Amino acid sequence: MSKVQSPVYKGNFVKGDWRMPKTDSCFESINPATEEVIATCRMSGKQEVDEAVSSAHEAFQAWRRIPAPHRAEILYTFSDLLASRKEAIARTMTIEMGKVLAESRSELGATIAACRYMAGEGRRLFGETIPTSANERMAMTIREPIGVVACITPWNFPIALAAYKIFAALIAGNTVVWKPASNVALSACAFTELFALAGLPPGVLNLVLGSGSQVGEALVEHPDVKVISFTGSTAVGIGLAEKGSKTLKRVSLELGGKNGVIVLADADLDKAAEGIVQAAFTTAGQRCTAASRVIAEESIREELERRVVALSKSITVGDGLQPGVEMGPLATRSQLDTVERYAEIAKSQGGIVLTGGERLERAGYFYAPTVITNVRPTDRIAREEIFGPVLAILGAKNFEEAVAINNNTEYGLSSAIYTNSLHYAGRAMRELESGLVYINSGTSSSETGAPFGGMKMSGNGHREVSHHAFDSMTEWKTIYTNV
């Protein structure tokens, strides 16, 4: 296969122009499949954050006055541009964070769909009219933009998770400063470039590249930033909420998960095994909605394990640009180290590795698809987010115990159940403590237009990918008119 041309680092995007940060500190973008350095990028600091926020703050008053249907036209144009460059950007994503090319294409397909959906919301920013007690009075509500929105996003979905926030913010009339994860800086540059081509006015969207400790902290502490929209770890999210509360910032958090799949004795085990493996090992398990626990009724647990292990062993692991590869590497060396450490912890606590449980001996950050049984609900592998291709299997006596095990975690993002019983399916809809519940499918297949977000320590109640995103991005204004 011919050598792939490396994507381009452009620096920060502020006030409609590309600018190189003035600091001397740098970070590297590394291909996790080859460990090749793709680009050396400049680290931003407080000065760069101040410039970006100032740019967004200055652009806000003009942008908010553009009617929402006209703001939507820019998103429609953007969606067409993204579709035209889908293949090139998908390859950049795979080179930077490792997911297989088919997944990168799928992520961009979902981003295009979300863009067109949110553009449609430009004609659906509805308010209400309210009956009043006076004959001469009318009361109504309208949505108002808030101001500068800081979008802080992770590397596992380098485009989609940022796009969901950015699209909603822009349609609502806000301006944006975006800080992506450093290891997907080139993907962020390629995505941001399209907004200028689509006709977005200078300053409405600004990109700042750098570390969370420098750029992220400066954004959350900046007085002109009014909204923080964050996807990432629960620990970091809690810290952002604490700091943001000091200036009464609106803080929207989409955090971690420890997602369980319940399999009852009456389930179709072939379908259950297929759904579990897909949810556990797509993106090498680096999804907040990835299936990391299976809770199976004891009478069918061993048979389910046999099917899950057979499918897991059949997964082709390798460079995501190569044809036929089904699972790529971990995104970073540190993530690879974390996954390996958790597998060792599981074994030390009595877990039995049915397949995998080791690094693959090759260049790159590869870890084998891993299935571990004999796991107890109190074991760390059953309670803590790993963010890698490791699946824990637990047993349960019946539906009630399975639900109790599923809910016995601080997280509440996604849950699933496989059953042919309408009774148990109905009970699961009500009793599973998670923002997403799937009946007879895996834990990771959300759709545009359906609210996305978690309960408990998986989020703070805000929802994305639907019109509910405007709850984070707007203020309600009530207007009384006497005639």
Q: Which residues are catalytic?
A: 254, 288
42/113 Cα distance (integer angstroms): 33
The rounded Cα 271 to chain-centroid distance in angstroms is 26
- Count other C-beta atoms under 10 Å from residue 475's C-beta: 13
Residue among 283, 241, 335, 254 at smallest CA distance from 107: 283
Burial class (CB in 10 A: 0-12, 13-18, 19+), 400: exposed
List, in order, residues 6 or more apart from 290 with CB less than 8 Å away. Answer: 257, 259, 279, 280, 282, 283, 387, 443, 444
Hunting for tokens 């907004």 — which residue is that? Answer: 195
Hunting for tokens 């926020």 — which residue is that? Answer: 53
Radius of gyration of the chain (CA): 23
Residue at 20: amino acid letter = M
Residue at 269: amino acid letter = L
Residue among 157, 372, 386 at smallest CA distance from 258: 386
Q: In the structure encoding, which two tokens stand for residue 470, read together?
A: 């405007």
Residue 178 is inside which H or E element, if any?
A: strand 175-179
Residues across the chain: 483
Residue at 353: amino acid letter = V
Residue among 225, 252, 226 at smallest CA distance from 49: 225
DSSP state letters, 24-68: S-EEEEEETTTTEEEEEEEPP-HHHHHHHHHHHHHHHHHHHHS-H
Q: In the structure encoding, which two tokens stand for residue 200, read together?
A: 């977005």
Segments of 255-360 assigned E as strands: 259-263, 291-297, 352-355
Would you tell me the crossing angle of helices 68-84 and 86-97 to the nearest 10 degrees? Answer: 70
Would you tell me the crossing angle of helices 422-431 and 399-407 to the nearest 10 degrees? Answer: 20
Strands 414-418 and 370-373 turn out to be unpaired
Helix (H, G, I), strand (E, B) or coil at 375: coil
